[in-house]
Structure 1
Amino acid sequence: MPGGRLTHEDRIRIAAWLADGLGYAEIGRRLGRPTSTISREVARNGAFGDYLADQAQQAAGRRARRPKPARPVEPTTGGQPTEAVRGFVDQFAMLLAATGLPRMTARVFVSLLTADASGLTAGDLVHRLQVSPASVSKSIGYLEAVELVVRHPDPGGGRERYIVDDEVWLRAWQADTSAHGEIATAARRGIEIFGAGTAAGVRLGRMGQFFARLTEQMGGSSTLTETAVRDVLAVLAALAHAGRPLTLDTLATALNWPRDRATAALNTLRHQPDLADPLALRAIAPATYTLTARPDRLSPEQRLALEN
């Protein structure tokens, strides 16, 4: 039910809607869930664009059975962090602030990052940092919006505790990698619109190449399993051999695969478009795909020569 744990049926729907190209917000709306619930679910169980409903359900079951870690003893003096801890928090916060994170927000984040497994309440943060409740509330709001912090109910009372959970770095990595890949893809679409020989096309080409390389370096094909790479190559070969657009179901049937397997291969291609280089996967309708040549691999002169 909405607000409870995701069911196996929910996960099957998420996998299908991802394959149809729906965003997290739309999937959340259809399931009656917050967008953050969907993004966390895919981050936990969809590494490298490979979200499979059955595997996600099994992983959720394993997490539910996993014993809770024992709470470590935190270095404090009279209920307050030691001088060494306070110095580390302030120094680390300054480094994060230099990357653009607001300084107070950085202090709150590092305090949560260095807290024990149960996290901290807003009152704990006010006490530790000696700041106003409003400052803490504003910082927590910022961190929740970018999904660096999650909240859980306090078992001992009605307060909420804030935690930097185990998946935060995976989410941050995927967000960066996915965003870079989307920028590269958008740049290639811009080249088709403006033309490869125009000033805009040249700039977009350079930009697309830069972000494509960045995506490859951050999440390159070396992180994929051998089976995933073979599946991607099989999908490319099938689309090239057909020479026409194929629906997801037609592709799965032709390859004699379960639908989830074909979905996973297509998701991998969407998130790591350089795997198809010098071709590009293109969705021309819901769950319908074809291959096109990347517009940045040929110069305007080469294109003109091939067209004549």
Structure 2
Amino acid sequence: MTQQERERIASGLADKLSYGEISRRLDRPTSTITREITRNGGPNDYRPQQAHQATIQRARRGTPAPPHADTPPVATMEQEILEMAVRAGMPRTAARVHHDLALSEDGRRTAAELTHRLRVSPASVSVAVNFLVQQGFVRRERDPRRRRDIYVIDDDAWYNAIMTSERQTLQTARATMAVAETYGLDTPVGQRLAKTAAYLERVSLDIMESADRWRTLLA
């Protein structure tokens, strides 16, 4: 993402635009805009220049150091999985929360447990969990006895995440088609946007169909 795009995100947030509207104006998936804002301070504290510099710094340290000779192979593989999630666009703390939940015996943790295990602030856990819930990776359950939230990752987590992402892409496709029709489907711009919309819609529907077809593997 360029510095100019980040400036436009900041401008959109200042104008109280939704993430979906910002993504349409930038011709980016809503999930990309959501990740960008969430990992760089949230809608109230997003600063484009700081976000750009933070991304550069993350890229510089994105390649993990070679493992120590005494590092257990399982730990090394787990770290590689975590780094791949970060490179794919997941905020680092969200990736750590997701990974920790995935490795828990019953796939359940409280905020206090995550804060203690990951040695991060409660606010960081809250932001990370909000991202994961929004993307379909995690769900919240309420503990009525102790009035606290429990965060759960279950067998359907990846199915839910895929469906959430593709629904967002479908929204982008349909918005793009609407813009194409506004320009006119007989104009160069309209034709280009219409092709983009048709491609995104077809790919998204195919992925959703495949996710449904193979969902039994998660049962």
CA shift digits 1:93-142 (9 cap, x unpaired): 21111111111111111111221225112222223223333322332233
Relative to structure 1, the CA distance from residue 223 to residue 129 in structure 2 (aligned partners, 3 Å threshold; closer, same or farther) is: closer
For 1:126, the equivalent position in structure 2 comes to 115
Alpha-carbon separation, structure 2, partners of 1:118 and 1:180: 28
Structure 1 segment 68-147 matched on structure 2, within 5 A: 86-117=75-106, 119-147=108-136
State the 1:177 CA deviation. 2.9
**Aligned-residue CA RMSD (Å):** 3.2
For 2:178, the equivalent position in structure 1 comes to 189
Question: Which protein is bigger by CA-based radius of gyration?
Answer: 1
For 1:163, the equivalent position in structure 2 comes to 152
Equivalent pairs counted in the alignment come to 143
CA shift digits 1:69-99 (9 cap, x unpaired): xxxxxxxxxxxxx966654443222111111
> Is the counterpart of residue 207 in structure 1 residue 196 in structure 2?
yes
Relative to structure 1, the CA distance from residue 167 to residue 159 in structure 2 (aligned partners, 3 Å threshold; closer, same or farther) is: same
Would you say the 8 A contact 1:196–1:205 is kept in 2?
Answer: yes
- Normalising by structure 2, report the TM-score: 0.53
Alpha-carbon separation, structure 1, partners of 2:179 and 2:98: 38
1:173 counterpart (124, 139, 162): 162
State the 1:176 CA deviation. 2.8
Structure 1 segment 252-263 matched on structure 2, within 5 A: none
Would you say the 8 A contact 2:135–2:165 is kept in 1?
Answer: no
Fraction of identical pairs, as percent: 30
Would you say the 8 A contact 2:136–2:164 is kept in 1?
Answer: no
Relative to structure 1, the CA distance from residue 136 to residue 83 in structure 2 (aligned partners, 3 Å threshold; closer, same or farther) is: farther
Alpha-carbon separation, structure 2, partners of 1:83 and 1:135: 28
Would you say the 8 A contact 1:119–1:163 is kept in 2?
Answer: yes
Which sits farther off after the overlay, 117-126 or 156-165?
156-165
Amino acid at match of 1:133: P
For 1:290, the equivalent position in structure 2 comes to none
Amino acid at match of 1:181: L
- Normalising by structure 1, report the TM-score: 0.39
Alpha-carbon separation, structure 1, partners of 2:170 and 2:123: 37
Would you say the 8 A contact 1:188–1:208 is kept in 2?
Answer: yes
CA shift digits 1:135-173 (9 cap, x unpaired): 223322332333322222448745432111333333222
Amino acid at match of 1:115: S
- SS in structure 1 of the partner of residue 136 of structure 2: coil
Where structure 1 has 5 or more consecutive residues not aligned to the other structure, the ranges are 1-81, 225-308
Amino acid at match of 1:205: A
Where structure 2 has 5 or more consecutive residues not aligned to the other structure, the ranges are 1-70, 214-219
Would you say the 8 A contact 2:107–2:153 is kept in 1?
Answer: no
Alpha-carbon separation, structure 1, partners of 2:211 and 2:157: 22
Structure 1 segment 45-60 matched on structure 2, within 5 A: none
CA shift digits 1:35-63 (9 cap, x unpaired): xxxxxxxxxxxxxxxxxxxxxxxxxxxxx
- SS in structure 1 of the partner of residue 196 of structure 2: helix
For 2:61, the equivalent position in structure 1 comes to none
